[in-house]
Amino acid sequence: MTGPLKHIRVLDLSRIMAGPWAGQILADLGAEVIKVERAGVGDDTRKWGPPYLKDESGADTAESGYYLSVNRGKKSVEIDIASAEGQATVKALAAKSDIVLENFKVGTLERYGLGPDDLRAVKPDLIFCSITGFGKDGPRAHDVAYDFMIQAMGGLMSVTGAPDDAPGGGPQKVGVPIVDIMTGMYAAISVLAALAERGQSGKGDTIDIAMLDVATAMLANQAMNHLVSGATPVRRGNKHPNIQPQDVFPVRDGHIVLAVGNDEQFARFANAIGRPDLAGDDRYATNRQRVRNLDTLHPIIVEQFAGKDLADWTRILGEHKVPCGPINTVPMVFAEEQVRHRRMLRDLPHPLSGKVPSVVSPMKFERAALSFDRPPPLLGEHTSEVLEALGLKAETT
């Protein structure tokens, strides 16, 4: 492996999405990530299909698309952590690791003798990161959580979707498990910060990441809109609550996303649509006034956009340096010239299918370049390799 973390070993005891997402980030950065899976069963997401990866004959494998999306670059080891042998193996792996990721229910690993204090007894400077739905303390600490319910509880669904009185109105979840993903991001940031601090103190740390905490933090500007005004943010569809015009607008052959971000851009936009007078109109000259007078500005923009096709408007607005874009389907994303140029989609070698497509990390380093040559592992694919390399016997599992 290459990358800035090629000297780091991660013991990944997590499954589903948030913990594995953190582990995949660390693997992309070059860390050796050892994914511990339940013997004979594996990560729950292995069964979250269809779709499943096809083998070279075109038949379904046991590798679901969901599992493949979050486990690139890791090594899979099957261990029964409920057994004494399995617990001894986990401790032996922890003794030679820098970071442990886990997302078991609160207290589970402690019952197996594998909690942070237990593992730090064999590796004093170990960084131990726990990822749970609600954190290690509080009235819901022992409850199970999934992304969907946390999107609801954390307020995200109250500001996502069309207004209740609009067609299709009502609360909506984001189309990807965004809280899981962001929880994994926060977990990765946390362990890297702990690594940096360990370089100064020589000591490990225990990190407590809760999905509900992350969802609350993710409210960002919507939270502050409420806290400074006392008003309750509501669903506004695609309309930005603070910056206008930012919305989806119909054009002659489809729709366009417009994202005007400041008054200078609005002046260029007004020229682009043939209404330079709008920039000099006191109702629209500043963002503050555009937000307040959106009810009259919006119909004007709709009328102007109706006369041309999407390709025409993206060209015209592009010439005027006005941020805009089409609404791509997922296949269209991978056909985008810029996405192709940045090589965000790559084929990795795979033992069952010959190759597996992978959406790789967006992080690009000039000196410590990342490499993408290890696909998501088969269940237990590396059990013997990993344990023997660490001086352990594979049969201890």
Could you list the active site residues? Answer: 180
Burial class (CB in 10 A: 0-12, 13-18, 19+), 117: exposed
How many Cβ atoms from other residues are within 10 Å of residue 327's Cβ?
12
How many angstroms separate the CA atoms of 347 and 360, rounded? Answer: 10
How many angstroms separate the CA atoms of 92 and 9, rounded? Answer: 13
Residue 118: which region, alpha, beta or left (left: phi > 0; alpha: psi -120 to 50)?
alpha
Structure tokens at 365: 């380093």
How many angstroms separate the CA atoms of 110 and 13, rounded? Answer: 13
Nearest to 217, CA basis, from 177, 182, 174: 182
Alpha-carbon distance values, 370 to 20, 46, 326, 342 (Å): 19, 26, 30, 13
Q: What is the full DSSP assignment across 182-200?
A: HHHHHHHHHHHHHHHHHHH
How many angstroms separate the CA atoms of 308 and 358, rounded? Answer: 37
Structure tokens at 90: 């986990």
How many angstroms separate the CA atoms of 153 and 171, rounded? Answer: 12
How many angstroms separate the CA atoms of 66 and 68, rounded? Answer: 5
Alpha-carbon distance values, 103 to 155, 178, 320, 380 (Å): 23, 17, 49, 20
